[in-house]
């Protein structure tokens, strides 16, 4: 077959197009859910048409023309880089190459990139947890507007170090920003594994053991990995409300952080393991990943370098989830919040509701973590809002909801007529493009949490939703437009995206009338008139 303009012989043992491209050293084609074909991170062009490589049998593309992001004409690739950088359409950069290839396929076949609806339909084949879609649509529209020369001039004027500082501040973890990140060149752990490194995957019969083989496809075959599924079991909040006469009530379900770069780490004997989150923090979801420690231990045991990989199904079962809660509060701020036992969660709750009694309970299910976005204090703010109780982190300003982020800035959010309006006080912006992008991403995450995101977990604690689409992350067509206003600089830069997340959640929950259980199952209102 021809790959990026050169004839290649597919490597032995490769069964899918993704396996073959990765074995050939092409790292812009990422594995976010293989073999589910649902995240779009491995999208390539086959004879000019977009195709998801992880579910494309290699035998079906022999003799055909395969184009990855690296094979696009340099001029077009550069324009996409500048457009995505100018709008903040790439954050961690893991999903971006596949999205660009999809949009380039749309453009090259006469699709109208200026048509928001057409772009949003094209994005239906993809998942992006970071950006909230809007900035990606804006990048496509910028591409449609012309040669992007003005974008090039703007990019020269931007300070990439300051942009990275803002991104790192919002994530609480190091993150780089720049044109190379748009191309997926962020040094993801799976992309940095040296050639010839044995790869281990969990043994389905004993998850604490690893099945090791020469490469990832061989390891998965040896382990007998079974493709994940979306269950018919409905997600149900697992904790019962405490008895009492409450002015506000809240129950939540298990929620997956839905990061796309599945956990990976590799290690040399006697060395330090590669971090599973190379560019960004996976929204806190990888802070407790067991793979680095496991990679170090296995490398010592085997006396050789080894890489460990989780599949999407492994992440669904084993990555840390947002702890489910069930609580009631009176208007004076007293009440009871039952939470899945999670280290540090009670202290987080106390930041927003100091008079709320926290009862930690043991709930069968996946691991939980207080490190996920605003875990604990977000739920306490929501319960306070529903009860009409005072909170040191919450104010109402007419239609707006104002939230103070502990140790950070303030965000005011209002939702009306299918649009979300955000005003942030974040000190020195450092980079307004990045700040705006993170605010829009926080709105997207909050709306998903309130409206649609949950995992089906049975009474024995087994996770049944194992596909990336079953997490309930909002698609581009389901996302309202977001307007972001940044206050004039005042003081040093502070993080504010979590405040946007919580304020948006309160505003949307209030709009829906404070239904007790999250997610509500009601999607946000969307207005596209005049866009």
Amino acid 112: pLDDT: 86
Given pLDDT bands bounded at 50, 70 and 90, which one contains residue 328?
very high
Q: What is the DSSP-derived secondary structure letter of residue 193? A: P
Q: What is the mean pLDDT of residues 468-475?
A: 95
Distance of alpha carbon 224 from its chain centroid, rounded?
A: 28
Q: What is the mean pLDDT of residues 495-524?
A: 98
- Start and end residues for every CATH 3.10.20.30 domain found in the chain: 2-70
Q: What is the mean pLDDT of residues 480-500?
A: 96
Look up the CATH number of domain 72-187.
1.10.150.120
Where is pLDDT greater, at 151 or 231?
231
Q: What is the mean pLDDT of residues 212-218?
A: 95
| Residue-averaged pLDDT of the chain | 94
Bridge partners of 503?
Answer: none
d(C-alpha 495, C-alpha 166), whole Å:
8
Amino acid 229: pLDDT: 67
Cβ pair 209, 202 in contact under 8 A: yes
CA torsion sign for 315, 318, 320, 326 is positive
Given pLDDT bands bounded at 50, 70 and 90, which one contains residue 145?
confident
φ, ψ for residue 292 (rounded to 5)?
Answer: -60, -45
- Residue 345: burial class (beta carbons within 10 Å; 0-12, 13-18, 19+): buried
Q: Is pLDDT above 60 for 153?
A: no
Amino acid 13: pLDDT: 85
Q: What is the DSSP-derived secondary structure letter of residue 465? A: -
Give the angle 418-124-187 at the CA atoms, nearest 5°: 110
d(C-alpha 261, C-alpha 477), whole Å:
23
Q: What is the mean pLDDT of residues 173-195?
A: 94
Amino acid 226: pLDDT: 67
Q: What is the mean pLDDT of residues 500-527?
A: 97
Q: Is pLDDT above 60 for 149?
A: no
Q: What is the mean pLDDT of residues 105-128?
A: 91
Q: Are strands 2-3 and 419-425 parallel, antiparallel or unpaired?
A: unpaired
Cβ pair 362, 334 in contact under 8 A: no
Distance of alpha carbon 52 from its chain centroid, rounded?
A: 19
C-beta contacts of 54-58 below 8 A and 24+ residues apart: 54/16, 54/17, 54/18, 55/16, 56/16, 56/17, 56/18, 57/15, 57/16, 57/17, 58/10, 58/14, 58/15, 58/16, 58/17, 58/19, 58/20
Given pLDDT bands bounded at 50, 70 and 90, which one contains residue 147?
low
d(C-alpha 448, C-alpha 472), whole Å:
7
Q: Which of 248, 373, 364, 329 is nearest to 337 (CA)?
A: 329
Amino acid 354: pLDDT: 98
Given pLDDT bands bounded at 50, 70 and 90, which one contains residue 516?
very high
Q: Which of 109, 121, 99, 113 is nearest to 32 (CA)?
A: 99
Q: Supply 83's token pair.
A: 């457009």
- Residue 153: burial class (beta carbons within 10 Å; 0-12, 13-18, 19+): exposed
In the block, tokens 């709320």 appear at 356
Query: pLDDT tens for residues 347-401?
Result: 999 999 999 999 999 999 999 999 999 999 999 999 999 999 999 999 998 999 9
Q: Kindly state the percentage of the chain with pLDDT values over 70.
A: 96
Cβ pair 424, 410 in contact under 8 A: yes
Task: Assign 381 to helix, strand or coil.
Answer: helix
Amino acid 450: pLDDT: 98
Q: How many CA atoms lie within 13 A of 123 on its CB side?
A: 30
d(C-alpha 488, C-alpha 319), whole Å:
39
d(C-alpha 492, C-alpha 409), whole Å:
10
d(C-alpha 317, C-alpha 351), whole Å:
30
Q: What is the mean pLDDT of residues 156-177?
A: 89
Q: Supply 333's token pair.
A: 């701020």
Amino acid 531: pLDDT: 58
Q: Are strands 6-7 and 2-3 parallel, antiparallel or unpaired?
A: antiparallel
**Cβ atoms within 10 Å of 488's Cβ, excluding its own:** 6
Cβ pair 338, 251 in contact under 8 A: no
Q: Kindly state the percentage of the chain with pLDDT values over 90.
A: 88
With a CB cutoff of 8 Å and minimum separation 6, the contacts of 351 are 376, 377, 380, 392, 393, 406
Task: Assign 317 to helix, strand or coil.
Answer: helix
Look up the CATH number of domain 325-511.
3.30.365
State the virtual CA torsion across 508, 513, 516, 520 in degrees, nearest 10: -50
Bridge partners of 402?
Answer: 395, 412
Give the angle 213-462-284 at the CA atoms, nearest 5°: 75
| CA distance to 68, 174, 259, per residue, from 27 (Å) | 10, 21, 18
- Start and end residues for every CATH 1.10.150.120 domain found in the chain: 72-187
Through-space distance between the first and last CA atoms of the chain, rounded to whole angstroms: 42
Q: What is the mean pLDDT of residues 487-502?
A: 96
Amino acid 55: pLDDT: 96
Stretch (H or E) spanning 460: none
Bridge partners of 203?
Answer: 206
Cβ pair 441, 448 in contact under 8 A: no
Amino acid 280: pLDDT: 82
Q: Supply 353's token pair.
A: 């509701």
Given pLDDT bands bounded at 50, 70 and 90, which one contains residue 228?
low
Q: Is pLDDT above 80 for 220?
A: yes
Stretch (H or E) spanning 108: helix 96-108
Look up the CATH number of domain 2-70.
3.10.20.30
């Amino acid at each position: 077959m021809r790959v990026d303009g050169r004839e290649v012989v597919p490597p032995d043992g490769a069964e899918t197009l993704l396996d073959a491209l990765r074995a050939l050293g092409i790292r812009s084609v990422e594995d976010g859910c293989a073999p589910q074909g649902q995240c779009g991170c491995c999208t390539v062009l086959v004879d000019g048409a977009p195709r998801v490589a992880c579910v494309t049998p290699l035998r079906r593309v022999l003799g055909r023309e395969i184009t990855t992001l690296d094979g696009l004409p340099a001029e077009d690739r550069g324009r996409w880089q500048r457009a995505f950088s100018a709008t903040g359409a790439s954050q961690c950069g893991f999903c971006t190459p596949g999205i660009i290839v999809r949009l380039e396929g749309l453009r090259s076949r006469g699709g109208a990139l200026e048509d928001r609806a057409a772009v949003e339909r094209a994005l239906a084949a993809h998942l992006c947890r970071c950006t909230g879609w809007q900035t990606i649509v804006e990048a496509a529209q910028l591409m449609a507007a012309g040669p992007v020369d003005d974008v090039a001039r703007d990019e020269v004027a931007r300070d990439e170090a300051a942009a990275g500082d803002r991104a790192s501040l919002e994530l609480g973890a190091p993150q780089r920003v720049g044109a190379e990140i748009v191309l997926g060149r962020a040094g993801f752990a799976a992309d940095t594994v040296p050639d010839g490194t044995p790869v281990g995957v969990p043994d389905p019969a004993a998850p604490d053991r690893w099945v090791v083989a020469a490469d990832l496809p061989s390891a998965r075959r040896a382990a007998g990995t079974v493709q994940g599924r979306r269950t018919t079991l409905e997600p149900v909040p697992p904790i019962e409300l405490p008895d009492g006469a409450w002015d506000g009530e809240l129950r939540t379900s298990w929620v997956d952080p839905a990061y796309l770069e599945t956990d990976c780490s590799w290690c040399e004997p006697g060395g330090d393991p590669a971090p599973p989150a190379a560019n960004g923090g996976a929204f806190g979801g990888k802070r407790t990943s067991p793979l680095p420690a496991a990679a170090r231990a296995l490398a010592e045991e085997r006396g050789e370098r080894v890489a460990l990989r989780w599949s999407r199904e492994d992440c669904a079962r084993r990555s840390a989830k947002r702890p489910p809660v069930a609580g009631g509060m009176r208007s004076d701020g007293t009440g009871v919040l039952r939470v899945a036992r999670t280290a540090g969660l009670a202290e987080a709750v106390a930041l927003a509701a100091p008079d709320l009694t926290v009862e930690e309970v043991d709930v069968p299910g996946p691991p939980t973590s207080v490190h996920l976005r605003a875990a604990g204090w977000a739920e306490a703010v929501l319960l306070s809002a529903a009860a009409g109780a005072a909170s040191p982190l919450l104010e109402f300003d007419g239609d707006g909801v104002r939230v103070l982020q502990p140790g950070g800035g303030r965000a005011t959010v209002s939702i009306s007529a299918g649009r979300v309006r955000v005003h942030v006080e974040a000190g020195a912006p450092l980079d307004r493009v990045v700040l705006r992008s993170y605010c829009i991403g926080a709105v997207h995450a909050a709306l998903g949490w309130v409206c649609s995101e949950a995992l089906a977990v049975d009474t024995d604690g087994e996770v049944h939703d194992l596909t990336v689409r079953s997490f309930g992350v909002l698609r581009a067509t389901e996302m309202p437009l977001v307007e972001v206003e940044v206050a004039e600089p005042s003081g040093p830069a502070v993080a504010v995206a979590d405040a946007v997340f919580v304020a948006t959640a309160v505003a949307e929950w209030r709009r829906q009338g404070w239904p007790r259980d999250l997610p509500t199952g009601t999607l946000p209102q969307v207005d596209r008139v005049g866009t």
